[in-house]
Amino acid sequence: MSSLVPPFTLETATRKVRLAEDGWNSRNPERVSLVYTPDSRWRNRAEFVNGRAEIVAFLTRKWAKELDYRLIKEIWAVTDDRIAVRFAYEWHDDSGNWFRSYGNENWEFDAAGLMQRRFACINDLPIRESERKYHWPLGRRPDDHPGLTELGL
C-alpha cells in the first residue's frame, strides 16, 4: 500500500478507491479510521466530523442505523493529491425499509497517502427489497461482481 501515495496515477487512484470500498464494506469503524489523518476533516451530508475519534463515533452510529450495508465506489477523476469518486450503497433500517444511497465524494490526501479531507454529498432513494442489486455476502465485494457502470447506476 505504500505505493498508493500522491502523486496519483489513474491506476494507483483506482486501487486506492477499491481499498476504500473494501474498508467501508468491513463496517469496522476503527479499521476505517486508520486511513485518515489524525486531524482529518469531513463533511458528510450536513454533518461535520473532525479527527479519528469523531470518525469512529460517526461510523459506529451510521452502521448501527444502516443495516446490511453494501457499498460500491467508482473513480470519477484524479489529480496529484485528490480523488473524486461516485458511489452507491444499499441498506435497510430496523423496520425493514430498503434504500439505495447515491453520492459523490471529494478526497484530499497528505504526502503519506492518508486522507486529510473528505467531502460527501449523499441522497437516499427508497427501494423495494426486490429492487436490490447488491446480494453478495456482507464484507468485501467479490472481484467478479459488477461495478456501478455495469449495473447502470
Q: Which domain holds residue 113?
A: 10-151
Return the half-sphere exposure (C-beta side, CA atoms, 13 A cut-off) of residue 151.
19
Q: Could you report the per-residue pLDDT of 33-52, keeping only the tens digit for each?
A: 999 999 999 999 999 999 99
DSSP per-residue letters across the chain: -TT--SSPPHHHHHHHHHHHHHHHHHT-HHHHHTTEEEEEEEEETTEEEEHHHHHHHHHHHHHHHSEEEEEEEEEEEE-SSEEEEEEEEEEE-TT--EEEEEEEEEEEE-TTS-EEEEEEEEEEEEE-GGG----SPSSSPPTTS--HHHHT-
Query: pTM for this one?
Result: 0.95
Residue 98 is assigned to a structural domain of this protein: yes
Percent of the chain with pLDDT over 70: 99
pLDDT at position 35 is: 97
Q: Label residue 15 by pLDDT band (50, 70, 90).
A: very high
pLDDT at position 2 is: 47
Residue 1 is assigned to a structural domain of this protein: no
Residue 49 is assigned to a structural domain of this protein: yes
Number of domains in the chain: 1
Q: Could you report the per-residue pLDDT of 47-97, keeping only the tens digit for each?
A: 999 999 999 999 999 999 999 999 999 999 999 999 999 999 999 999 999
Decide if pLDDT at 1 tops 50: no
pLDDT at position 46 is: 93
CATH number at residue 17: 3.10.450.50
Decide if pLDDT at 129 tops 80: yes
Answer for the pair 44, 101: CB distance below 8 angstroms, yes or no. no
pLDDT at position 69 is: 98
- Give the separation between CA 6 and CA 67, rounded to whole angstroms: 34
Mean pLDDT of 97-120: 98
Answer for the pair 59, 135: CB distance below 8 angstroms, yes or no. no
Residue 3 is assigned to a structural domain of this protein: no
Percent of the chain with pLDDT over 90: 98
Residue 15 is assigned to a structural domain of this protein: yes
